[in-house]
Structure 1
C-alpha cells in the first residue's frame, strides 16, 4: 500500500517508466551541484577573494616578473576552485537527453510487445504506449535545458569573476600607492 502523498509520484513513474526515475535522480544531482556552487560562491569564494586581494595589496613587491607570476597563480587557483564542478555539470546536462531517448526506446519496445500480445483496442494501447514513451524524452529535455541555462550562467559568472578579480587586484595596487 502506497501512502496517499506518494500516489502522484507512483502514477508518474508508472506513466514514464524506470528511466524517468533515473532522470529525476540526475536532475536532483544536477541541481544539488548548482545549489552547492551558489553556496560556495556566496560564502566561501567571496571571503577567499577578499583575503587574496588583501594579501596581494600587503606585498611590498607587486611589479616584478615573479610578483606578477605569483598573482597570476593565485588568481588561477581561486578561479579553478570556482570552475571545479563545471565538467560534471556539463556531463549531467549531456546525459539527460540520452536518458530521455533511452526511455523512449524502451517505452516503444514495450508498446510493440504489448501490441503483439493483444489484438483488441490496438489504437488505444498504441496511444497509451506512445504517451508513455515520450514522457521520458520530455523530462530529459526539460532537465537538460534548465541545466544548460544554469551551466551557461555559471560560466558567465566565472568569466566575469575572473576579470573582476584582476581589476580589483590592480585597483588595490593603485590604492596602496595613493
Structure 2
C-alpha cells in the first residue's frame, strides 16, 4: 500500500499541481456518475412504480386535468432522473481545459529552464515537458471516460422517460 501511495505521489510530482486539480475533478465527476447510476438502478424503479400505481388508482384518466397530472408526474420523474447529469457534462468539458492549463504551465517551466541554462540542456527541460504532457493526458482520459458515462446516462434517462410515458396512459374513451 505504501508503494502504491509513493507511486501516486511521484506521478503527481511529475505532472505538477494542475494534475492534482484534474484528479480531484475526475474523482468528483465519477462520484456523481456512480450516484446517478445508483439512482437509476435502485431508487428510480421504486419512484416509477409508485407513480404508475398512483396513476392507475385514479378514477379520472381521460380528462384534460388528468392529462395535466400525467404530464406533471412524468416531468417530475424526468427532473429527478436528470439530477446531476448537467453537472457531470460540465465536469467532462472542464477536464481537457484543465489539461490544457497543465500544458501551458509545463511549457512555461520549459521556457524558464531554456532562459536560465540555454536551449542545449535537454535533461533540464525534460521535467517541464513531462509537466506539460502528463496533465494533458490525464485531462483527456478523464474527459473520455466521462463522455462515455454521461452519454450512457443521458440515453438511459431518455429510455426511462419513454417507459414512463408508455406506463402512464390516458384513457381515450
Which TM-score applies when normalising by structure 1? 0.90
Name the structure 2 match of 1:149: 148
Q: Distance in 1 between matches of 2:3 and 2:162?
A: 52
Contact 2:37–2:153, Cα closer than 8 Å, also in 1: no
In 1, distance between residues paired with 2:152 and 2:105? 34
What is the rounded CA distance, in whole Å, between the counterparts of 2:13 and 2:52 in structure 1? 55
Residue equivalent to 1:140: 139
- What do the CA deviations read for 1:123-164 (whole angstroms, capped 9, x no partner)? 233344223211101110110111011111111001111101
Q: Compare 19-28 and 162-171 and name the one that shifted more.
A: 162-171
What per-residue deviation string (whole Å, max 9, x for no partner) do you get for residues 37-95 of structure 1?
A: 11111221110000000110110000001001101101100110111212111110111
CA distance in 2, matches of 1:137, 1:119: 26
Q: Which residue of 2 aligns with 1:62?
A: 61
| Structure 1 outlier segments of 4+, above 6 Å | none
Structure 1 residue runs without a partner (length 5+): none
What CA RMSD, in Å, does the superposition of the two structures yield over aligned residues? 1.9
Give the match for residue 48 of structure 1: 47
Name the stretch that deviates more: 147-156 or 120-129. 120-129
Structure 2's unaligned 5+ residue stretches are: none
Equivalent residue runs for 1:72-83 within 5 Å: 72-83=71-82
1:31 aligns to what? 30
Residues in 1 aligned to 2:31 and 2:3: alpha-carbon distance in whole angstroms: 27
> Aligned pairs, how many?
172
Distance 2:97 2:74 in 1: 37
TM-score, normalised via structure 2 length: 0.92
